[in-house]
Amino acid sequence: EVQLVESGGGLVQPGGSLRLSCAVSGFTGSYNYMSWVRQAPGKGLEWVSVLFSGGSTYYADSVKGRFTISGDSAKNTLNLQMNSLRAEDTAVYYCAREYKYWGQGTLVTVSS
């Protein structure tokens, strides 16, 4: 069974850091790209970052310089290191493989 399971969300103070992970299982073959997408409470989808199989990475302007996407092929995980967090980063964070397969999301709340 194809599964993506996010973890690492929680409550963090403004200026703090958090590392999200996405455990991927049930796939044969490697991915072309994997992404993080977030959704603030009651708002629309916001693309955050993408990691291509060749190693290229891209970020939304809103997170550039603060977030870092990475993959661990040995552990079949996708990670998102989030630094200098702001209240506006509060959202459910989804990982996705080629935008076809999605996890259930993990909630990040940035608040004092």
Partner 1 sequence: DIQMTQSPSTLSASVGDRVTITCRASQSISSWLAWYQQKPGKAPRLLIYKTSSLEGGVPSRFSGSGSGTEFTLTISSVQPDDFATYYCQRYDSYGTFGQGTKVEI
95 CB neighbour count, 10 Å cutoff: 28
Q: Which of 18, 22, 34, 50 binds partner 1 (CB under 8 A)?
A: 50
Instruction: Find the binder of partner 1 among 5, 58, 76, 109 (CB under 8 A).
Output: 58
Contacts for 12 with CB less than 8 Å, ≥ 6 apart: 18, 85, 108, 109, 110
In angstroms, rounded to a whole number, what is the distance separating the alpha carbons of residues 50 and 31? Answer: 12
Q: Which of 20, 30, 26, 32 is nearest to 78 (CA)?
A: 20
Candidates 7-15, 23-31, 58-66, 76-84; binding stretch for partner 1 (CB under 8 A): 58-66
* Residue 71 binds partner 1 (CB under 8 A): no
Binding mask 10-39 for partner 1 (x = CB under 8 A): -------------------------x-x--
Binding site for partner 1 (CB under 8 A): 35, 37, 44-47, 50, 56, 58, 60-61, 94, 99-100, 102-105
